[in-house]
Structure 1
Amino acid sequence: MVKSILFVGVGGQGIILASKILTEGLLKFGYDVKMSEVHGMAQRGGSVTTQVRFGDKVYSPLIGEGEADVVVSFEKVEAARWINYLKKDGKLIVNDYEIFSLPVLIGKENYPTNIEEELEKSGVNFKLFNAAKIAEEIGNIKTQNMVILGALVKSLGLENLDWEGVIKEVLPEKLVDINTKAFKYGLSI
């Protein structure tokens, strides 16, 4: 059976790193894994998506509408933008975090204020938490991606694998402790 994970967010949130750690871990633990990433206008705060598919045998990294087992949204508006990719019985993980686009910053548009209400109305199975706040409490806001990754790993039932070892392999030594702490916190969400 193949599982499909769609990561969505805004450039600079660590989406590609989180999906790389997930991919490396899944490969290490014997899964066939395919990954595809789209940077868009990432360096300007634009959308970033990463698609990860894993299982016994995976032929393509691409996830179509209605095919994602899990959509992981690093920013609230992105959850609403990509929800149509979620399977009917899929899970949505949402970082309760807002990044204002340029049109919002210059007053041409308003940031949507009813995203959580819309998600509730949609009937989607979703988990909403503020990974940025948790990461700040841990000691570094840049680790919010690891908090989110921990929550994803738990939702997939893969928490018993050696993720700390994978984090050690992927990250520079000076970043391992704080990111491992953030990941473990995410496992408790």
Structure 2
Amino acid sequence: MTKSFLLAGVGGQGTILTSKILTEGLTQLGFDIKMSEIHGMAQRGGTVTTHIKFGEKVYSPIITSGEADVLLAFEKLEAARHLSYLKPGGTLIVNDYEIYPMSVLTGQVEYPENILDILKSTVPNTVVVNAYDIAKDAGSVRAQNIVLLGAAVKILGITDLDWEQIIKSYLPEKFHEMNIKAFNTGMREA
């Protein structure tokens, strides 16, 4: 049986790095995996998504509407934007964090109020993670992606790997301790 995992964030949040680490772990677990990255206007604060499918045999990484088992949103508005990809009964993991898009910054529209309440009422299986505060406590707010990775690993039930070693293989040594702390706290908070 194939599982679908969609990651959605804003350029600069570490969505692609998180996808690569997750994919490495799934590979070590023996799954066939396909991954596809969509960058959009990532360097200008635009949406970045990664489609990951894994299972015994996977033919395409592309996730269509209503197909994702898990949606990992690095930002609240990105969760709302990509909610249509989540299948009924799927799980939404959302970072309690806001990055205002250009339309909000220029005053064209307002950032939606009570967006977490709307998401939770729409998706019963919603896990809200305050990755910003956790990452800050770990040493840098830039580790939010690794906090969310920890939450995803816990929720997917794939904790029986040496995730710390996998994370270390993707990051410079000077960031190991901080990111391992962020990952472990993310797992606990899930």
**Alpha-carbon spacing, 1:106–1:53, altered in 2? closer, same or farther (3 Å):** same
The answer on whether the counterparts of 1:135 and 1:142 sit within 8 Å (CA) in structure 2 is yes
Partner of 1:59: 59
Partner of 2:104: 104
- For residues 129-151 of structure 1, what are the alpha-carbon distances to aligned partners after superposition, in whole Å with 9 as ceiling and x for unaligned? 21011101111111000000000
- Aligned partner letter, 1:155: I
Report the Cα offset of residue 6 of structure 1: 0.1
Report the Cα offset of residue 170 of structure 1: 1.6
Partner of 2:153: 153
The answer on whether the counterparts of 2:138 and 2:179 sit within 8 Å (CA) in structure 1 is no
Partner of 1:26: 26
Q: Distance in 2 between matches of 1:57 and 1:123?
A: 28
The answer on whether the counterparts of 2:69 and 2:86 sit within 8 Å (CA) in structure 1 is yes
- Aligned partner letter, 1:169: S
What is the Cα-based RMSD across aligned positions, in Å?
1.0
What's the % identity of the aligned pairs? 57
TM-score, length of structure 2 as denominator length: 0.96
Q: How does 1:106-185 map to 2 (within 5 A)?
A: 106-185=106-185
5+ long unaligned stretches in structure 2:
none
5+ long unaligned stretches in structure 1:
none
What is the total number of aligned residue pairs between the two structures? 189
Please identify runs of 4+ aligned residues in structure 1 that moved more than 4 A.
none
- Aligned partner letter, 2:170: V
Report the Cα offset of residue 114 of structure 1: 2.3
Report the Cα offset of residue 32 of structure 1: 0.9
Q: Distance in 2 between matches of 1:64 and 1:172?
A: 35
- For residues 57-76 of structure 1, what are the alpha-carbon distances to aligned partners after superposition, in whole Å with 9 as ceiling and x for unaligned? 11110111110000000000
- Aligned partner letter, 1:94: V
Report the Cα offset of residue 123 of structure 1: 4.0
- For residues 50-94 of structure 1, what are the alpha-carbon distances to aligned partners after superposition, in whole Å with 9 as ceiling and x for unaligned? 011111111110111110000000000011111111111110000
- Aligned partner letter, 2:104: V
